[in-house]
């Protein structure tokens, strides 16, 4: 593997050389990729692992007795073991492979909801959630006659903890909260929130899509009940993702999807289901993507992830300072604890225009509501521009971003 542990600091150039996509030009300019919250880039070792699977190992898993099938099964289950260690799950069976965060949260909402949510119950969802941690709960609430109640945020984009505590009561059946907000970058105090929910016997589903790529996580330390994340935001291919759940919940929950691979026996008199994780993994999974997720975890383990997180944080602080220093720029989301994400607006310029002009400079940022419309409503903006960083971004790229934003202002002056 090309990645090294840097000496005396983060060797960003060495890290960048692991990611082939970063060395290209876009619109005649070197690519500055600042859309990592939407999807991160993939290192060569992960690309090669996927290619090796397709060239040499491709076969369906779990069912075949032949060599290739057993080989592919071993590789896929090895990836699950890597996931277990990466998030420090107690039991590998608690790690269910899904397509991504969205599917993971839908699995929990619909399966847990069918069993444990009843008429008049309440589900607490924070105001800063991505739509994929709002809508599944709204759907389940509608099906079960329950109510979704919003945990409010403040002007800095932080959860108002007093209000959260006031909302918890004997009718609460679930708390759904992001570890890190994709629209604001806020790092939520999920460990404390989980401890409070547990005093009421309420489980917590953490949307970890934006935390796992940016700092080490430990589901046992957090004591979360469910924890969802996507491979494509953590240097792995699309189509890979995980929903972790505590065994004590997963064992009691009904299957979410049904079909091949998730049964013990089927007859027209009745069907019995396999145990976890198979119970929640109907049909042929994204095998290459799952193995790729394992390779991405190997990659993260091979670099100094804590140093990466510290470097990335410095980059975020530098970018915040540079952009906030430009007259007309407003940073949206100024929480005391943030990771990766810098959302901003420019006075009298629509974020889509910002995104388009930046693209002409080879700079990829996201412009829009970031699938977090309640956040936009709270800050009374139609959209924001969002730069989101990974450990392969540089201070020079931040300077290019700031210069380009300055140009946007000049164009619209």
Ligand X SMILES: Cc1ncc(COP(=O)(O)O)c(C=O)c1O
Site of interaction with ligand X (CB under 6 A): 37-38, 100-102, 130, 132-133, 178, 182, 207, 209-210, 230
Residues 95, 205, 224, 371: which is the catalytic one? 371
The length of the chain is: 413
Q: 404: closest CA among 303, 329, 310?
A: 329
Q: Which is nearer to ligand X, 102 or 320 (CB)?
A: 102
In whole angstroms, how close is the CB of 372 to ligand X at the nearest point?
8
Distance of alpha carbon 159 from alpha carbon 167, whole angstroms: 12
Contact 218, 25 (CB under 8 A): no
Q: Which is nearer to ligand X, 127 or 133 (CB)?
A: 133
In whole angstroms, how close is the CB of 328 to ligand X at the nearest point?
27
Q: Which is nearer to ligand X, 132 or 345 (CB)?
A: 132
Q: List strand residue ranges (DSSP E) for 294-340, in order.
A: 329-332
Q: Report the DSSP beta bridge partners of residue 235.
A: none
In whole angstroms, how close is the CB of 325 to ligand X at the nearest point?
27
In whole angstroms, how close is the CB of 134 to ligand X at the nearest point?
10
Diameter of the chain by CA atoms?
73
Q: Which is nearer to ligand X, 128 or 408 (CB)?
A: 128
Q: 182: closest CA among 159, 152, 206, 207?
A: 207
Distance of alpha carbon 76 from alpha carbon 254, whole angstroms: 24
- Helix, strand, or coil here: 386? strand
Q: Which is nearer to ligand X, 41 or 102 (CB)?
A: 102
Could you tell me the end-to-end alpha-carbon distance of the chain, in angstroms, rounded to an integer? Answer: 49
Sheet holding 341-346, edge to edge: 329-332, 341-346, 384-388, 366-368
Q: Which is nearer to ligand X, 72 or 351 (CB)?
A: 351
Distance of alpha carbon 173 from alpha carbon 378, whole angstroms: 26
- Helix, strand, or coil here: 379? helix
Q: Which is nearer to ligand X, 111 or 132 (CB)?
A: 132
In whole angstroms, how close is the CB of 186 to ligand X at the nearest point?
11
Please indicate whether residue 371 is annotated as part of the active site.
yes
In whole angstroms, how close is the CB of 182 to ligand X at the nearest point?
3
Residue 163, burial from CB neighbour count under 10 angstroms (0-12, 13-18, 19+): middle
In whole angstroms, how close is the CB of 231 to ligand X at the nearest point?
8
Q: Could you write out the three-class secondary structure of 247-287? A: HHHHCCCCCCCCCCCCEEEEECCEEEECCCCHHHCCCCCCH
- Helix, strand, or coil here: 118? coil
- Helix, strand, or coil here: 92? helix
Give the active site residues.
371
């Amino acid at each position: 593997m090309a990645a090294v542990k840097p000496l005396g600091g983060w060797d960003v150039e060495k890290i960048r050389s692991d990611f082939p996509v970063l060395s290209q030009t876009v619109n005649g300019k070197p690519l500055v990729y600042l859309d990592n919250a939407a999807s991160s880039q993939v290192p060569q070792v992960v690309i090669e692992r996927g290619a090796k699977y397709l060239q040499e190992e491709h076969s369906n898993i779990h069912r075949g007795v032949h060599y290739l099938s057993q080989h592919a099964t071993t590789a896929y289950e090895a990836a699950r073991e890597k996931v277990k260690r990466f998030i420090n799950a107690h039991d590998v069976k608690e790690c269910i492979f899904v397509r991504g965060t969205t599917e993971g949260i839908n699995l929990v909402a619909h399966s847990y909801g069918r069993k444990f949510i009843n008429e008049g119950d309440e589900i607490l969802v924070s105001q800063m959630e991505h739509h994929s941690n709002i809508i599944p709960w709204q759907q389940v609430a509608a099906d079960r006659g329950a109510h979704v109640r919003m945990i409010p945020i403040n002007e800095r984009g932080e959860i108002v903890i007093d209000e959260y505590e006031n909302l918890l009561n004997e009718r609460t059946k679930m708390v759904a909260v992001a570890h890190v907000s994709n629209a604001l970058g806020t790092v939520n105090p999920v460990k404390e929130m989980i401890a409070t929910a547990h005093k009421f016997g309420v489980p917590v589903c953490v949307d970890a899509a934006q935390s796992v790529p940016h700092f080490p996580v430990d589901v046992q330390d957090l004591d979360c009940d469910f924890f969802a994340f996507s491979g494509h935001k953590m240097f792995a291919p699309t189509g890979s993702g995980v929903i972790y759940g505590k065994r004590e919940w997963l064992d009691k929950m009904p299957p979410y999807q049904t079909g091949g691979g998730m049964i013990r026996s089927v007859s027209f008199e009745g069907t019995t289901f396999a145990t976890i994780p198979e119970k929640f993994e109907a049909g042929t999974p994204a095998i290459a993507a799952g193995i790729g997720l394992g390779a991405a975890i190997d990659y993260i383990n091979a670099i100094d992830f804590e140093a990466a997180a510290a470097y990335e944080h410095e980059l975020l602080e530098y970018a915040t300072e540079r952009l906030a220093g430009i007259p007309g720029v407003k940073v949206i989301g100024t929480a005391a604890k943030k990771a990766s994400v810098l959302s901003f607006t420019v006075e009298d310029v629509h974020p889509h225009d910002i995104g388009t002009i930046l693209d002409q400079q080879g700079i990829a940022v996201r412009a829009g509501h970031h699938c977090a419309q309640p956040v936009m409503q709270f800050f009374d903006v139609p959209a924001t521009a969002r730069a989101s960083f990974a450990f392969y971004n540089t201070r020079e790229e931040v300077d290019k971003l700031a210069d380009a934003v300055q140009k946007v202002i000049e164009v619209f002056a």
